[in-house]
Structures are given as C-alpha cells and as structure tokens.
Amino acid sequence: MTVKPTCQVCNENQHKYKCPQCYKRYCSVNCYKKHKSEDFCQANVEKPPKNGEKQLQCLEKQDEETEKISEEVLGRLKESEKLKDILKNPHLKKLLTEVDKNENTPQLINDLMQEPIFIEFADQCLDII
C-alpha cells in the first residue's frame, strides 16, 4: 500500500493538488488560499533559465558591459572646462536633477533633447567621449 504525501500546508490530509508556481502540495481550496495569503508560495524562486533565456541573459550582460564608461573617459569629463561652464547653468542643473529622480529616464532624456541647454550639454559630453 502506497501512502500519498501529505498536504504541505495543513500537514494533515493527503495532497490532491500542486501549486503551479512553487509546486508545494495542498489538499483543498482552504489550504490553497492559506498558502497564497501567508506567503507560503515561493513563486519568486528563480527557475533555471531555458536555453534561449540563457543566451538573452548573456547578451544583456554584454550590453551592460559595453555601456560602462571607462575611468579614463570619466576623468576627461571631470576635467573639461567647457563642461564645467555648461554645468553652472541653473536650468541645466534642474533638468539633470529631474533625470536623476525620474523612473522613466530614457523617455525623459528623449523629451529633454528638445531643450537647447540639454542638447549643448549632451553634445559636449559626446565630444569629450
């Protein structure tokens, strides 16, 4: 006689179901609700990536690495007198503060490319790089 594993929520009854996210076994709707409401579910546990996902993660990592600015370039930006002069502009300071605080930075930067002082700042940065 084989005994089915018990419910992993109440530990009393035999399980009938499995959670689709974390595969914990439960026996009833009540146990399912308890499982979900009390954060029993470990749906956030990372599953091993599929082959295509591995390739995508690898490409994303490469993109992140190529987007980093070297210490040498940062030094050139830091030492540029033209850039220092542009950064004295109070309106530009306000715009850069908005960029720093904004959650949708790419969209904001796209919008700011209509501002002459921001364009001047961006052009100067690109000239230095």
Q: What is the chain's pLDDT, residue by residue, as a tens digit (129 residues)?
A: 456 678 888 889 888 888 777 778 888 888 888 877 766 566 544 555 555 555 555 555 555 555 677 888 889 999 999 999 999 999 999 999 999 998 888 889 989 999 999 999 999 988 988
CA–CA dist 6, 12 (Å, integer): 6
| 8-17 contacts, C-beta under 8 A, 24 or more apart | 9/34, 9/35, 9/40, 10/34
Does 118 share its domain with 78? yes
Cα atoms in the Cβ-side hemisphere of radius 13 Å centred on 79: 8
Q: What ranges in 10-104 are assigned the alpha helix state H? A: 29-37, 51-67, 71-79, 81-86, 90-101
Does 81 share its domain with 115? yes
Query: What pTM was computed for the model?
Result: 0.48
Q: Count the domains in the chain.
A: 2
**How far is the first Cα of the chain from the last one, in angstroms, to the nearest whole number?**
74
55 domain-assigned: no
Among 15, 31, 47, the domain boundary falls at: 47
Q: What is the token pair recorded at 115?
A: 């501002």
* Domain of 1, in residue numbers: 1-47
